[in-house]
């Protein structure tokens, strides 16, 4: 008799613990999101944000710019990033800060190469600067700040920006000849501090 009572109590406690764990798991939200600020110019930026605790979430997103030419400039850009976020109120609500890491691959023309002026490399070869573009990859580390708010039971708006360090490895080419305009044996390396992510994400709650 005592054994049966013990077994009944054990099953009841295990069932209660399982139900509590399931409820806690169900309480952790998951949102899918898309960047409404970049979509009108043909850039695809989508992501998922998963709640880990009451105030912490993890987001992963990708950015795709398929433009071989955008306003006369190369602008192919593909990136993926991961970000841990801390919300001061609660997950998916109001102000937050985040730590972001990302990688990217690109074929683009930097903004400071848009003017048609002479460019002379270290071998004294002269090129037209507006004909030059860069191809390579980057490693990115930054800090994000943002504000997310609810517009309905399942829809949120997330406004954010990320500033950080970009370490770039690239080769430079002249589009008229296909020749490299710089004299590095393999890749050139450059680093800079810049804003590299941002926008207005429209988020839909999956659970």
Mean pLDDT of 168-182: 92
Residue-wise pLDDT for 122-152, tens only, equals 888 999 999 999 999 999 999 999 999 999 9
Mean pLDDT of 27-47: 92
pTM of the model: 0.78
Residue 5 pLDDT: 44
Residue 175 pLDDT: 92
Mean pLDDT of 5-16: 44
For the chain, what is the domain count?
Answer: 1
Q: Which of 12-21, 99-108, 168-177 has the lowest mean pLDDT?
A: 12-21
Mean pLDDT of 40-64: 95
Residues of the domain holding 47? 2-205
Please report which confidence band the pLDDT of residue 24 belongs to, taking 50, 70 and 90 as the band edges. Answer: low
Mean pLDDT of 168-180: 92
Q: How many CA atoms lie within 13 A of 85 on its CB side?
A: 32
Q: How many angstroms separate the CA atoms of 157 and 145, rounded?
A: 14
CATH of the domain at 128: 2.40.160
Nearest to 200, CA basis, from 28, 30, 47, 29: 47
The DSSP 8-state label assigned to residue 111 in this structure reads G
User: What would the two tokens of residue 141 be?
Assistant: 């580390």
């Amino acid at each position: 008799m005592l054994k049966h009572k013990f077994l009944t109590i054990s099953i009841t406690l295990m069932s209660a613990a399982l139900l509590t764990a399931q409820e806690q798991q169900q309480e952790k939200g998951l949102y899918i999101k898309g960047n409404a600020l970049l979509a009108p110019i043909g850039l695809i930026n989508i992501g998922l944000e998963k709640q880990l605790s009451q105030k912490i979430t993890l987001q992963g997103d990708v950015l795709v710019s398929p433009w071989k030419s955008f306003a006369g400039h190369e602008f192919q850009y593909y990136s993926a990033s991961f970000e841990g976020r801390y919300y001061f109120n609660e997950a998916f609500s109001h102000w937050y800060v985040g730590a972001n890491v990302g990688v990217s691959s690109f074929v683009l023309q930097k903004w400071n190469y848009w003017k048609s002026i002479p460019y002379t490399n270290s071998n004294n070869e002269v090129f037209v600067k507006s004909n030059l573009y860069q191809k390579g990859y980057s490693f990115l580390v930054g800090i994000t700040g943002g504000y997310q708010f609810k517009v309905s039971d399942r829809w949120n708006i997330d406004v954010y920006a990320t500033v950080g360090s970009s370490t770039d490895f690239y080769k430079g080419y002249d589009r008229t000849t296909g020749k490299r305009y710089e004299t590095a044996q393999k890749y050139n390396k450059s680093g800079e501090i810049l804003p590299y992510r941002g926008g207005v994400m429209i988020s839909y709650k999956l659970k």
